[in-house]
Protein backbone atom coordinates (compact mmCIF):
# COMPACT_ATOMS: atom_id res chain seq x y z
CA UNK A 1 0.00 0.00 0.00
CA UNK A 2 2.86 2.35 0.81
CA UNK A 3 4.55 1.80 -2.57
CA UNK A 4 1.24 2.29 -4.39
CA UNK A 5 0.79 5.68 -2.70
CA UNK A 6 4.26 6.77 -3.81
CA UNK A 7 3.59 5.73 -7.41
CA UNK A 8 0.28 7.62 -7.35
CA UNK A 9 2.01 10.78 -6.13
CA UNK A 10 4.68 10.50 -8.84
CA UNK A 11 2.01 10.04 -11.50
CA UNK A 12 0.12 13.09 -10.18
CA UNK A 13 3.30 15.20 -10.16
CA UNK A 14 4.18 14.08 -13.69
CA UNK A 15 0.72 14.95 -14.96
CA UNK A 16 0.90 18.39 -13.35
CA UNK A 17 4.26 19.00 -15.03
CA UNK A 18 2.79 18.07 -18.39
CA UNK A 19 -0.18 20.33 -17.70
CA UNK A 20 2.13 23.23 -16.84
CA UNK A 21 4.18 22.67 -20.01
CA UNK A 22 1.08 22.60 -22.16
CA UNK A 23 -0.18 25.86 -20.61
CA UNK A 24 3.11 27.73 -21.11
CA UNK A 25 3.55 26.41 -24.67
CA UNK A 26 0.00 27.25 -25.67
CA UNK A 27 0.39 30.73 -24.15
CA UNK A 28 3.45 31.30 -26.36
CA UNK A 29 1.48 30.16 -29.42
CA UNK A 30 -1.25 32.63 -28.48
CA UNK A 31 1.37 35.42 -28.18
CA UNK A 32 2.58 34.61 -31.70
CA UNK A 33 -0.97 34.47 -33.01
CA UNK A 34 -1.75 37.82 -31.37
CA UNK A 35 1.20 39.35 -33.21
CA UNK A 36 -0.17 37.98 -36.47
CA UNK A 37 -3.61 39.34 -35.58
CA UNK A 38 -2.16 42.81 -34.99
CA UNK A 39 -0.28 42.64 -38.30
CA UNK A 40 -3.57 41.97 -40.07
CA UNK A 41 -5.35 44.70 -38.08
CA UNK A 42 -2.71 47.27 -39.05
CA UNK A 43 -2.96 46.41 -42.74
CA UNK A 44 -6.77 46.38 -42.53
CA UNK A 45 -6.75 49.80 -40.86
CA UNK A 46 -4.23 51.30 -43.27
CA UNK A 47 -6.35 50.16 -46.21
CA UNK A 48 -9.53 51.31 -44.41
CA UNK A 49 -11.18 47.96 -44.98
CA UNK A 50 -13.63 48.77 -42.21
CA UNK A 51 -14.81 52.04 -43.81
CA UNK A 52 -17.54 50.68 -46.09
CA UNK A 53 -20.60 50.16 -43.86
CA UNK A 54 -20.48 53.53 -42.07
CA UNK A 55 -18.19 52.39 -39.26
CA UNK A 56 -16.48 55.13 -37.26
CA UNK A 57 -13.12 53.37 -36.90
CA UNK A 58 -11.24 50.11 -37.07
CA UNK A 59 -11.79 49.75 -33.31
CA UNK A 60 -15.55 49.96 -33.78
CA UNK A 61 -15.30 47.32 -36.53
CA UNK A 62 -13.36 45.00 -34.18
CA UNK A 63 -15.96 45.61 -31.49
CA UNK A 64 -18.77 44.60 -33.86
CA UNK A 65 -17.20 41.89 -36.00
CA UNK A 66 -14.74 40.26 -33.58
CA UNK A 67 -16.46 40.86 -30.25
CA UNK A 68 -13.55 42.76 -28.65
CA UNK A 69 -14.62 45.46 -26.20
CA UNK A 70 -14.16 48.95 -27.61
CA UNK A 71 -11.41 49.94 -25.16
CA UNK A 72 -9.41 46.76 -25.85
CA UNK A 73 -9.97 47.18 -29.59
CA UNK A 74 -8.61 50.73 -29.53
CA UNK A 75 -5.53 49.53 -27.69
CA UNK A 76 -4.94 46.72 -30.17
CA UNK A 77 -5.11 49.18 -33.06
CA UNK A 78 -2.66 51.50 -31.28
CA UNK A 79 -0.17 48.72 -30.57
CA UNK A 80 -0.52 47.37 -34.10
CA UNK A 81 0.60 50.69 -35.56
CA UNK A 82 3.34 51.19 -32.96
CA UNK A 83 4.94 47.83 -33.78
CA UNK A 84 5.56 48.92 -37.37
CA UNK A 85 8.59 50.97 -36.23
CA UNK A 86 9.83 48.58 -33.52
CA UNK A 87 11.56 45.63 -35.24
CA UNK A 88 13.14 44.05 -32.13
CA UNK A 89 9.93 44.02 -30.09
CA UNK A 90 8.01 42.84 -33.14
CA UNK A 91 10.39 39.92 -33.74
CA UNK A 92 10.18 38.72 -30.12
CA UNK A 93 6.40 39.06 -30.18
CA UNK A 94 6.20 37.22 -33.52
CA UNK A 95 8.14 34.30 -32.03
CA UNK A 96 5.88 34.15 -28.96
CA UNK A 97 8.63 35.22 -26.55
CA UNK A 98 6.73 38.14 -25.00
CA UNK A 99 3.06 38.60 -24.17
CA UNK A 100 0.68 41.26 -25.42
CA UNK A 101 0.63 42.73 -21.90
CA UNK A 102 4.38 43.37 -22.06
CA UNK A 103 4.24 44.65 -25.62
CA UNK A 104 1.34 46.94 -24.78
CA UNK A 105 3.33 48.52 -21.96
CA UNK A 106 6.57 48.83 -23.93
CA UNK A 107 4.93 50.50 -26.92
CA UNK A 108 3.81 53.40 -24.73
CA UNK A 109 7.41 54.64 -24.51
CA UNK A 110 9.37 52.51 -26.98
CA UNK A 111 11.51 54.02 -29.74
CA UNK A 112 13.94 52.35 -32.16
CA UNK A 113 16.71 53.58 -29.85
CA UNK A 114 15.45 52.17 -26.53
CA UNK A 115 13.51 49.06 -27.62
CA UNK A 116 16.49 46.73 -27.10
CA UNK A 117 16.79 47.93 -23.49
CA UNK A 118 13.06 47.49 -22.95
CA UNK A 119 13.26 43.98 -24.41
CA UNK A 120 16.01 43.13 -21.94
CA UNK A 121 13.70 44.14 -19.08
CA UNK A 122 10.81 42.22 -20.65
CA UNK A 123 12.81 39.00 -21.09
CA UNK A 124 14.28 39.09 -17.57
CA UNK A 125 11.17 40.31 -15.76
CA UNK A 126 7.41 39.93 -15.55
CA UNK A 127 4.70 42.08 -17.09
CA UNK A 128 4.47 43.89 -13.74
CA UNK A 129 8.14 44.81 -13.97
CA UNK A 130 7.67 46.29 -17.43
CA UNK A 131 4.57 48.23 -16.36
CA UNK A 132 6.43 49.48 -13.29
CA UNK A 133 9.40 50.72 -15.33
CA UNK A 134 7.23 52.46 -17.92
CA UNK A 135 5.18 54.13 -15.21
CA UNK A 136 8.27 55.44 -13.37
CA UNK A 137 9.89 56.61 -16.59
CA UNK A 138 6.86 58.65 -17.52
CA UNK A 139 6.75 60.12 -14.02
CA UNK A 140 10.34 61.35 -14.35
CA UNK A 141 9.49 62.99 -17.67
CA UNK A 142 6.47 64.74 -16.12
CA UNK A 143 8.62 66.10 -13.27
CA UNK A 144 11.02 67.60 -15.80
CA UNK A 145 8.12 69.30 -17.55
CA UNK A 146 7.11 71.15 -14.36
CA UNK A 147 10.10 73.47 -14.74
CA UNK A 148 8.33 75.15 -17.63
CA UNK A 149 4.97 75.57 -15.90
CA UNK A 150 5.24 79.27 -14.99
CA UNK A 151 6.19 80.22 -18.54
CA UNK A 152 3.35 78.16 -19.93
CA UNK A 153 0.90 79.78 -17.53
CA UNK A 154 1.90 83.25 -18.74
CA UNK A 155 1.45 82.24 -22.38
CA UNK A 156 -2.03 80.71 -22.06
CA UNK A 157 -4.59 82.09 -24.53
CA UNK A 158 -7.63 81.23 -26.64
CA UNK A 159 -8.72 83.14 -29.73
CA UNK A 160 -11.15 82.61 -32.57
CA UNK A 161 -12.27 84.24 -35.79
CA UNK A 162 -14.85 83.49 -38.49
CA UNK A 163 -13.27 82.47 -41.77
CA UNK A 164 -14.42 83.67 -45.20
CA UNK A 165 -16.60 80.57 -45.68
CA UNK A 166 -18.31 81.04 -42.31
CA UNK A 167 -16.27 78.38 -40.48
CA UNK A 168 -15.06 79.15 -36.96
CA UNK A 169 -11.27 78.93 -36.57
CA UNK A 170 -10.23 78.45 -32.92
CA UNK A 171 -6.66 78.55 -31.67
CA UNK A 172 -5.65 77.91 -28.07
CA UNK A 173 -2.53 77.56 -25.96
CA UNK A 174 -3.23 76.06 -22.54
CA UNK A 175 -1.20 75.22 -19.46
CA UNK A 176 -0.57 71.52 -18.87
CA UNK A 177 -3.30 71.44 -16.22
CA UNK A 178 -5.82 73.21 -18.43
CA UNK A 179 -4.81 71.12 -21.40
CA UNK A 180 -5.19 67.92 -19.43
CA UNK A 181 -8.71 68.85 -18.40
CA UNK A 182 -9.73 69.88 -21.91
CA UNK A 183 -8.09 66.91 -23.62
CA UNK A 184 -9.62 64.41 -21.21
CA UNK A 185 -13.02 66.02 -21.75
CA UNK A 186 -12.51 65.85 -25.52
CA UNK A 187 -11.41 62.22 -25.34
CA UNK A 188 -14.48 61.38 -23.29
CA UNK A 189 -16.73 63.25 -25.70
CA UNK A 190 -15.13 61.72 -28.83
CA UNK A 191 -17.23 58.66 -28.19
CA UNK A 192 -19.68 57.92 -25.40
CA UNK A 193 -18.07 54.49 -24.90
CA UNK A 194 -14.98 56.23 -23.51
CA UNK A 195 -16.89 56.61 -20.26
CA UNK A 196 -16.81 52.81 -19.93
CA UNK A 197 -13.03 52.39 -20.30
CA UNK A 198 -12.61 52.00 -16.57
CA UNK A 199 -14.76 48.87 -16.75
CA UNK A 200 -12.95 47.13 -19.61
CA UNK A 201 -11.05 43.87 -18.97
CA UNK A 202 -7.48 43.75 -17.68
CA UNK A 203 -6.41 43.14 -21.27
CA UNK A 204 -6.82 46.84 -22.00
CA UNK A 205 -4.48 49.66 -21.11
CA UNK A 206 -4.84 51.93 -18.11
CA UNK A 207 -5.10 55.00 -20.31
CA UNK A 208 -7.31 55.69 -23.32
CA UNK A 209 -5.43 55.16 -26.54
CA UNK A 210 -5.54 57.45 -29.55
CA UNK A 211 -8.03 55.92 -31.91
CA UNK A 212 -7.35 55.46 -35.61
CA UNK A 213 -10.61 56.75 -37.04
CA UNK A 214 -12.44 57.17 -40.30
CA UNK A 215 -12.38 60.95 -40.05
CA UNK A 216 -9.06 62.63 -39.25
CA UNK A 217 -8.41 62.79 -35.53
CA UNK A 218 -8.66 66.57 -35.63
CA UNK A 219 -12.12 66.36 -37.21
CA UNK A 220 -13.38 64.06 -34.46
CA UNK A 221 -12.03 66.45 -31.84
CA UNK A 222 -14.07 69.20 -33.47
CA UNK A 223 -17.16 67.02 -33.09
CA UNK A 224 -16.19 66.37 -29.47
CA UNK A 225 -15.91 70.10 -28.76
CA UNK A 226 -19.46 70.54 -30.02
CA UNK A 227 -20.61 67.78 -27.63
CA UNK A 228 -18.92 69.56 -24.72
CA UNK A 229 -20.83 72.72 -25.59
CA UNK A 230 -24.06 70.70 -25.76
CA UNK A 231 -23.35 69.18 -22.35
CA UNK A 232 -22.70 72.62 -20.82
CA UNK A 233 -25.95 74.08 -22.11
CA UNK A 234 -27.79 70.90 -21.16
CA UNK A 235 -26.95 71.18 -17.46
CA UNK A 236 -29.51 73.93 -16.82
CA UNK A 237 -27.77 74.90 -13.61
CA UNK A 238 -27.31 71.32 -12.41
CA UNK A 239 -23.92 70.16 -11.21
CA UNK A 240 -24.43 66.74 -12.76
CA UNK A 241 -23.25 65.84 -16.23
CA UNK A 242 -25.91 65.57 -18.87
CA UNK A 243 -26.08 63.40 -21.96
CA UNK A 244 -27.70 65.95 -24.22
CA UNK A 245 -30.06 64.69 -26.87
CA UNK A 246 -31.66 66.28 -29.89
CA UNK A 247 -33.96 69.14 -28.97
CA UNK A 248 -32.34 69.48 -25.52
CA UNK A 249 -29.12 70.87 -26.98
CA UNK A 250 -28.30 74.58 -26.96
CA UNK A 251 -30.24 76.70 -29.43
CA UNK A 252 -28.69 77.26 -32.85
CA UNK A 253 -30.73 79.73 -34.85
CA UNK A 254 -31.20 78.46 -38.40
CA UNK A 255 -33.11 80.74 -40.75
CA UNK A 256 -34.70 78.58 -43.43
CA UNK A 257 -37.87 78.14 -45.45
CA UNK A 258 -40.29 75.35 -46.18
CA UNK A 259 -38.88 75.10 -49.68
CA UNK A 260 -35.38 74.55 -48.34
CA UNK A 261 -36.54 71.83 -45.96
CA UNK A 262 -38.61 69.99 -48.56
CA UNK A 263 -36.91 67.05 -50.29
CA UNK A 264 -37.90 68.39 -53.72
CA UNK A 265 -37.26 72.04 -52.88
CA UNK A 266 -35.20 74.28 -55.12
CA UNK A 267 -33.48 76.45 -52.51
CA UNK A 268 -29.88 75.24 -52.01
CA UNK A 269 -28.93 76.79 -48.65
CA UNK A 270 -30.13 78.17 -45.33
CA UNK A 271 -28.48 80.73 -43.08
CA UNK A 272 -27.20 80.55 -39.50
CA UNK A 273 -27.38 83.53 -37.15
CA UNK A 274 -23.66 84.21 -37.72
CA UNK A 275 -24.33 84.67 -41.44
CA UNK A 276 -22.70 81.39 -42.43
CA UNK A 277 -24.68 79.33 -44.93
CA UNK A 278 -25.34 75.58 -44.75
CA UNK A 279 -26.69 73.20 -47.37
CA UNK A 280 -30.36 72.30 -47.67
CA UNK A 281 -29.69 68.72 -46.58
CA UNK A 282 -27.81 69.95 -43.50
CA UNK A 283 -30.84 72.13 -42.74
CA UNK A 284 -33.06 69.04 -42.99
CA UNK A 285 -30.82 67.19 -40.55
CA UNK A 286 -30.82 70.05 -38.04
CA UNK A 287 -34.60 70.36 -38.34
CA UNK A 288 -35.12 66.61 -37.78
CA UNK A 289 -35.02 67.10 -34.01
CA UNK A 290 -35.32 70.73 -32.97
CA UNK A 291 -37.44 73.56 -31.67
CA UNK A 292 -39.47 75.44 -34.28
CA UNK A 293 -40.47 79.11 -34.45
CA UNK A 294 -42.59 80.27 -37.39
CA UNK A 295 -41.20 83.67 -38.35
CA UNK A 296 -42.91 85.68 -41.08
CA UNK A 297 -40.90 88.45 -42.76
CA UNK A 298 -41.57 91.01 -45.46
CA UNK A 299 -39.38 91.40 -48.53
CA UNK A 300 -36.97 93.63 -46.60
CA UNK A 301 -36.42 91.01 -43.90
CA UNK A 302 -38.46 92.78 -41.21
CA UNK A 303 -40.46 90.50 -38.93
CA UNK A 304 -44.21 90.64 -39.48
CA UNK A 305 -45.23 87.90 -37.07
CA UNK A 306 -43.33 85.57 -34.72
CA UNK A 307 -45.11 82.44 -33.57
CA UNK A 308 -44.65 80.34 -30.45
CA UNK A 309 -41.73 77.98 -30.17
CA UNK A 310 -42.74 74.36 -30.56
CA UNK A 311 -40.83 71.08 -30.43
CA UNK A 312 -40.59 68.97 -33.57
CA UNK A 313 -40.63 65.90 -31.29
CA UNK A 314 -42.78 66.18 -28.12
CA UNK A 315 -41.11 65.12 -24.83
CA UNK A 316 -43.45 62.14 -24.34
CA UNK A 317 -42.56 60.69 -27.74
CA UNK A 318 -38.87 61.32 -27.15
CA UNK A 319 -38.98 59.43 -23.84
CA UNK A 320 -40.72 56.50 -25.52
CA UNK A 321 -38.21 56.58 -28.37
CA UNK A 322 -35.29 56.59 -25.93
CA UNK A 323 -36.79 53.64 -24.08
CA UNK A 324 -37.30 51.69 -27.31
CA UNK A 325 -34.00 52.35 -29.10
CA UNK A 326 -31.65 52.89 -26.10
CA UNK A 327 -29.13 54.54 -28.44
CA UNK A 328 -28.03 54.75 -32.06
CA UNK A 329 -29.68 52.03 -34.17
CA UNK A 330 -27.19 52.14 -37.04
CA UNK A 331 -25.70 48.64 -37.51
CA UNK A 332 -22.56 48.14 -35.43
CA UNK A 333 -22.85 51.43 -33.51
CA UNK A 334 -22.81 51.29 -29.71
CA UNK A 335 -23.30 55.03 -29.00
CA UNK A 336 -26.10 55.80 -26.56
CA UNK A 337 -25.32 59.43 -25.64
CA UNK A 338 -25.46 62.49 -27.89
CA UNK A 339 -28.09 60.98 -30.16
CA UNK A 340 -30.65 62.68 -32.41
CA UNK A 341 -34.14 61.55 -33.29
CA UNK A 342 -34.31 61.10 -37.06
CA UNK A 343 -37.53 61.43 -39.04
CA UNK A 344 -37.36 58.62 -41.61
CA UNK A 345 -39.83 60.57 -43.74
CA UNK A 346 -39.02 64.19 -42.89
CA UNK A 347 -41.82 66.19 -41.29
CA UNK A 348 -41.26 68.86 -43.95
CA UNK A 349 -42.28 66.22 -46.52
CA UNK A 350 -45.40 65.23 -44.61
CA UNK A 351 -43.80 62.58 -42.38
CA UNK A 352 -45.55 62.05 -39.06
CA UNK A 353 -43.87 62.51 -35.70
CA UNK A 354 -44.70 59.07 -34.37
CA UNK A 355 -42.71 56.06 -33.23
CA UNK A 356 -43.05 54.26 -36.55
CA UNK A 357 -41.37 57.14 -38.36
CA UNK A 358 -38.58 57.86 -35.86
CA UNK A 359 -35.25 56.27 -35.03
CA UNK A 360 -32.35 57.36 -32.81
CA UNK A 361 -29.01 58.02 -34.52
CA UNK A 362 -25.72 59.35 -33.20
CA UNK A 363 -24.43 62.57 -34.75
CA UNK A 364 -21.99 60.67 -36.99
CA UNK A 365 -24.58 58.33 -38.47
CA UNK A 366 -27.30 60.98 -38.59
CA UNK A 367 -25.03 62.95 -40.88
CA UNK A 368 -24.37 59.85 -43.01
CA UNK A 369 -28.10 59.36 -43.53
CA UNK A 370 -28.67 62.99 -44.53
CA UNK A 371 -25.46 64.17 -46.20
CA UNK A 372 -23.64 60.88 -46.78
CA UNK A 373 -26.01 59.09 -49.14
CA UNK A 374 -27.14 56.38 -46.70
CA UNK A 375 -30.81 55.49 -46.47
CA UNK A 376 -33.18 54.45 -43.68
CA UNK A 377 -36.59 52.81 -43.68
CA UNK A 378 -38.82 51.28 -41.03
CA UNK A 379 -39.89 47.65 -41.25
CA UNK A 380 -41.93 45.35 -39.04
CA UNK A 381 -38.71 44.03 -37.48
CA UNK A 382 -37.25 47.51 -36.95
CA UNK A 383 -35.20 50.09 -38.89
CA UNK A 384 -33.19 48.96 -41.91
CA UNK A 385 -30.36 50.92 -43.51
CA UNK A 386 -28.86 51.00 -46.98
CA UNK A 387 -25.42 52.17 -48.10
CA UNK A 388 -24.93 54.74 -50.88
CA UNK A 389 -25.11 51.93 -53.49
CA UNK A 390 -28.56 50.89 -52.22
CA UNK A 391 -27.35 47.64 -50.63
CA UNK A 392 -29.18 46.75 -47.42
CA UNK A 393 -26.74 46.64 -44.54
CA UNK A 394 -26.76 43.58 -42.24
CA UNK A 395 -27.97 44.30 -38.72
CA UNK A 396 -25.48 41.91 -37.12
CA UNK A 397 -21.96 40.71 -37.79
CA UNK A 398 -21.38 37.61 -39.89
CA UNK A 399 -20.85 34.34 -38.01
CA UNK A 400 -17.67 32.61 -39.04
CA UNK A 401 -15.57 29.71 -37.82
CA UNK A 402 -13.41 30.70 -34.87
CA UNK A 403 -10.71 28.05 -35.52
CA UNK A 404 -9.19 25.77 -32.91
CA UNK A 405 -6.04 25.33 -30.87
CA UNK A 406 -4.63 22.57 -33.09
CA UNK A 407 -4.91 24.75 -36.19
CA UNK A 408 -3.17 27.57 -34.30
CA UNK A 409 -0.21 25.38 -33.30
CA UNK A 410 0.06 23.79 -36.75
CA UNK A 411 0.03 27.17 -38.50
CA UNK A 412 2.73 28.57 -36.21
CA UNK A 413 4.94 25.53 -36.79
CA UNK A 414 4.40 25.69 -40.55
CA UNK A 415 5.57 29.32 -40.37
CA UNK A 416 8.89 28.13 -38.94
CA UNK A 417 8.24 29.28 -35.37
CA UNK A 418 10.02 27.12 -32.78
CA UNK A 419 7.71 27.44 -29.80
CA UNK A 420 7.96 25.25 -26.73
CA UNK A 421 7.00 25.28 -23.05
CA UNK A 422 9.95 27.57 -22.16
CA UNK A 423 9.53 30.11 -24.99
CA UNK A 424 7.57 32.78 -23.13
CA UNK A 425 8.76 32.12 -19.56
CA UNK A 426 10.77 35.14 -18.32
CA UNK A 427 14.31 34.69 -17.00
CA UNK A 428 13.40 36.36 -13.69
CA UNK A 429 14.75 34.51 -10.65
CA UNK A 430 12.89 36.46 -7.99
CA UNK A 431 15.34 39.35 -7.55
CA UNK A 432 13.96 42.84 -6.88
CA UNK A 433 14.27 45.42 -9.65
CA UNK A 434 16.26 48.56 -8.85
CA UNK A 435 13.81 51.25 -9.95
CA UNK A 436 16.36 54.06 -10.06
CA UNK A 437 18.87 52.10 -12.09
CA UNK A 438 16.22 50.82 -14.47
CA UNK A 439 14.84 54.31 -15.16
CA UNK A 440 18.34 55.77 -15.56
CA UNK A 441 19.08 53.08 -18.09
CA UNK A 442 16.01 54.08 -20.10
CA UNK A 443 16.74 57.81 -19.80
CA UNK A 444 20.13 57.39 -21.47
CA UNK A 445 18.33 56.94 -24.80
CA UNK A 446 16.64 60.35 -24.55
Q: On the CB side of 5, how many CA atoms lie within 13 Å of its CA? A: 2
pLDDT at residue 233 in the model = 72
Looking at residue 80, its pLDDT comes to: 95
Q: Are 54 and 368 in contact (CB under 8 A)?
A: yes
The residue among 88, 93, 91 whose CA lies nearest residue 76 is: 93
Residue 30: name the closest of 441, 285, 403 by CA: 403
Phi, psi for residue 227 in degrees, rounded to 5: -65, -35
Tens-binned pLDDT, residue by residue, of the chain (446 aa): 455 555 555 555 558 878 888 888 888 888 988 999 999 999 999 988 887 667 788 988 888 888 888 888 999 999 999 999 999 999 999 888 899 999 999 998 888 998 998 898 888 888 888 888 888 887 776 665 545 555 566 678 888 888 888 888 989 887 656 777 787 788 877 764 444 333 334 444 444 444 444 456 778 888 888 888 877 776 444 434 444 454 444 566 777 777 777 777 767 777 776 667 777 787 778 788 777 766 656 555 555 455 556 667 888 888 899 899 888 988 888 888 778 889 988 888 888 888 989 999 988 888 888 888 888 998 888 899 988 888 888 776 655 545 666 676 777 777 777 776 677 666 665 567 677 776 777 677 66
pLDDT at 179: 77
Identify whether the C-beta of residue 412 lies closer than 8 Å to the C-beta of residue 37: no
pTM, entire model: 0.56
Annotate 264-318 with DSSP letters as a single string. T----EEEETTS-EEEHHHHHHHHHSSEEEEEEE-TTS-EEEEEEEEESS-HHHH
Burial level of 393, CB count in 10 A (0-12/13-18/19+)?
A: middle
- Residue 202, pLDDT score: 40
Helix (H, G, I), strand (E, B) or coil at 161: strand
pLDDT of the residue at 248: 46
Distance CA 48, CA 213 (A): 9
Q: How far apart are CA 359 and CA 378, in angstroms?
A: 9
Amino acid sequence: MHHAAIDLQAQSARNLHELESEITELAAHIHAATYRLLELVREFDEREGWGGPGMKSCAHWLNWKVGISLGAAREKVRVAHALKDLPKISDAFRRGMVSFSKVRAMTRVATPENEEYLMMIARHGTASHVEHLVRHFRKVKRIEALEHENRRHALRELNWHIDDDGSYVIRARLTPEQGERVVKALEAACDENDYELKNVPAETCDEPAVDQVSDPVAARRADALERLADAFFGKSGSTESSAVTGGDRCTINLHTTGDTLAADGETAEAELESGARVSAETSRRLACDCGLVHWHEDQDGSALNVGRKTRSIPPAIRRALQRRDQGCRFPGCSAHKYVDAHHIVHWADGGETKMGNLVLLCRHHHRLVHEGGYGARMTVSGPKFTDPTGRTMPTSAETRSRGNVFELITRNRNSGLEIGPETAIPLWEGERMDDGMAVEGLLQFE
